Amino acid sequence: MSQKQFAVRIERQDQPSLPPYWQTFVLDHEAGLNVTSVLQRIAANPTTKDGAKVAPVAYESGCLEEVCGSCTMRINGRVRQACSALVDRLLKDDPSGIELRPMSKFPVVRDLCVDRYRMFRALQKLKCWVPVDGYYDLGSGPKQSSDQQLQNYPLSQCMSCGCCLEACPQYKEVVIARREDELEADYQQRRDEELDRNFIGAAAMSQAVLMNSHPIGKTISASRIEAMIAAGGIQNCGKAGNCQAVCPKEIPLMHSWGRANRAATIHVFKKFFDG
């Protein structure tokens, strides 16, 4: 390997039931490359360092500007987006090369692609949307003060990338195997029930706080808080702060945890005194 080349070591997995393995690729250095560009070049010529022709590496990408969150993976041991990870900076920190691995908290579908259903299930559980009666014009809604807008805007930047969940020590991987002869509907229901008992994590919780701060979204705030304090809710958070440290959008997730805990405390006291 010449000085104008660099190595890319990738943890691969052909399917969920098979064990992972490593493959190394060598690429020519080009100015301005990011990790997504590296994977595109490997896909165009999937030849390992040893000269073996292999299947292209499976990965996800969408916006290519750190907005969709689909290209999240572990790059040199750190969870981040492939589109914003620049090769020159990575090689400056580690001249030996680049290491790519899928996220560890979600089931691997293939290679660097993972199934993030659990995260979206948590958003569904906490009803992270603004309820409407229909799709006709509802007119202008209640106005928010500038202070409320400044407080809530950072939370709206969440792209459901999963970085906060990958770094969270309380967010454990949940493996749910399908039983033999089990119907698809029965498997989906059992999977949802099992996931609902596990920690929801910072992503869904922060979005629930955002929806409860919305003038219309707060109309069902009580049901969201009930979901927050149910099994796997905010009481499971260990306040490690890893979620906020790795968030690519620098969302104040620990502040959101404080807002969620305060709202939950008030909700429980109201329930107690209201009978």
Q: What is the mean pLDDT of residues 27-48?
A: 95
The whole-number average pLDDT for the span 144-152 is 92
pLDDT of 141 > 80? The answer is no
Q: Is 116-274 assigned to CATH 1.10.1060.10?
A: yes
pTM: 0.91
The arithmetic mean of pLDDT across residues 26-43, rounded, is: 95
Q: What's the mean pLDDT when you consider all of the chain?
A: 93
Residue 136 has pLDDT above 90, yes or no: no
The three-state DSSP-derived secondary structure of the chain is: CCCCEEEEEEEECCCCCCCCEEEEEEEECCCCCEHHHHHHHHHHCCECCCCCECCCCCCCCCCCCCCCCCCEEEECCEEEECCCCEHHHHHHHCCCCEEEECCCCCCEEECCEECCHHHHHHHHHCCCCCCCCCCCCCCCCCCCCHHHHHHHHHHHCCCCCCHHHHHCCCCCCCCCCCCCCCCHHHHHHHHHHHHHCCCCCHHHHHHHHHHHCCCCHHHHHHHHHHHHCCCCCHHHCCCCCHHHHHCCCCCCHHHHHHHHHHHHHHHHHHHHHHC
Statement: 5-110 belongs to CATH 3.10.20.30 = yes
Write down the pLDDT at residue 1: 60
Q: Across residues 107-118, what is the average pLDDT? A: 96
pLDDT in tens, 176-190: 888 888 999 999 999
% of residues, the chain, pLDDT over 70: 99
What is the structure's pLDDT at 227?
95
Domains of the chain, residue spans = 5-110, 116-274
What pLDDT does 56 receive? 96
- Do the domains spanning 5-110 and 116-274 agree at the CATH topology level? no
Query: Does pLDDT of 123 surpass 90?
Result: yes
The predicted pLDDT at position 74 comes to 98
